[in-house]
Chain A
Amino acid sequence: MGQEVARTLAEAPLHRVSGTLLVAGDPGGSFHLRDGAIAEVASPGAPGAETLLLRSARISETDWAAATLSCPAERPLGAELVERKLVGAAELQLICVAAALDGALAIGMGRIDGFTLERDTHDCRVPALRPIEPDWLVREAERRIRALAARRHPFSPFRTRLGRTDAGTAALDTAADGERREILLRVNGRRSTRDIAFLLGRSLYAVAVEVSRLLGEDLVEAVVPDASTATDPYAGPRTPTDGLPRRLPGASGITNVLPLRPAAGL
């Protein structure tokens, strides 16, 4: 199925396809095409350009609201943001490409149930200022999926919940400010890599690579959802043993799936 999605995208420039390639699955997503090139890739599995811009505080919520309110429907929102000097054109293009790659990565790493092409729809949120070549996007997403699968501790960015080990908690005292520390701070036994990427407003791939390193250094671990973590108002105060994470490598089943994915395309 992934191969068919990749082939449809690769053939889009030949027919100058405009519309939306909707990919059903978990997490699934959509490729937005204009004249055969990709304008945006959106998936619940990865932060889009809007989240990357807002959560990283590159643009304030007030400025964003003002820009979206005054932007005419026929004009790309990105052009409005650049004209208001809220973000540079080159930086915005970089963010849009990163978000598109992340979206393709999320769709490709997840389960694909089917896809449909809806022609002549234009419902992009923040389209890239310059269109992205589908062939390049597919190849780069494949490369990233392979890179993640080849790591010593493969995991699902969506299903694997991450917990901090004792060593990870101790490392917080010494870790220098930066992405690694920010990730460690947000690991709480119930969040996935994807959840942390959304919280930080950072690229899914970048966070996944750092999580993979943290897993390799035993600073974080995959945890089994604990039946006792749900809040029960009648159960009284929680005991300290409630939240103890238990190690279960590959509990999500991703270790069985990931090695097969890159060969399947996307």
Chain B
Amino acid sequence: MTTRKAQLAAEVRTLRNRVVGVTDVVVASVDGLLITAETDDTAEPESLAALTAATLNIARRAGSMTHRGLLHHTVSQFTDGYLVTHSLGDMALIGVLGDAGMDITRLHTEAQASAQRITTLLTEPPADAGHHDRTGEGAR
């Protein structure tokens, strides 16, 4: 049986494999706690998760202060690559590190699709939750 953790791990791997130039992907809670990661040996997953959350939260506050609505994503471009963060609703986020050649247009398309699937994985009740409920009802 595929566990939810394995499904999340597969999802970030898919994102990395589909977009040329992606080197690292993390999924974290809004407060920066690592949920899952697919990272190279140059990036430390916990730190990347925390920094991604900080980046997204600063951008969100800037948007809020200037009445720009909901935040979708941020893009930080460096001489040697990118850090792109995507918001997953109010509860989680995706951080993507890429090299200087990363296909940023394709990343946005693929990240949007991944975001929907990851959100579903994070929010849907565990497979055995329904079973417990039914058991409980039966007991009553």
**Contact of B45 with A231 in the complex, beta carbons under 8 Å:** yes
**CA distance in complex: A47, B9 (Å):** 29
**CA distance in complex: A194, B22 (Å):** 11
**Contact of A50 with B100 in the complex, beta carbons under 8 Å:** yes
**Contact of A235 with B39 in the complex, beta carbons under 8 Å:** no
Within 8 A of B (CB), among A44-65: 44-48, 50-51, 54-55, 61, 64-65
> Of B13, B21, B36, B80, which one neighbours A233 at CB under 8 angstroms?
B36
**Contact of A230 with B101 in the complex, beta carbons under 8 Å:** no
**CA distance in complex: A235, B106 (Å):** 31
Chain B 6-37 near chain A by CB (<8 Å), digits 1 or 0: 10011011000100110100000000001111
Interface size class on chain B is: 20 to 34
A188 at the interface (CB under 8 A from B): yes
Chain A nearest CB, measured from B31 CB (Å): 14
| 6 closest Cβ pairs, A-B complex | A230-B9, A44-B103, A231-B37, A44-B20, A198-B99, A27-B20
Residues of B within 8 A of A (CB): 5-6, 9-10, 12-13, 17, 20-21, 23, 34-41, 45-46, 79-80, 99-103, 106
Q: A44-B101, A188-B41, A227-B6 are in contact. List 16 more A-B contacts (CB 8 A).
A: A45-B20, A48-B101, A55-B80, A65-B79, A158-B20, A194-B101, A195-B99, A225-B17, A227-B13, A231-B37, A231-B38, A231-B45, A232-B9, A232-B36, A233-B45, A233-B46
Residues of A within 8 A of B (CB): 26-28, 43-48, 50-51, 54-55, 61, 64-65, 158, 188, 190-191, 194-195, 198-199, 225, 227, 229-235
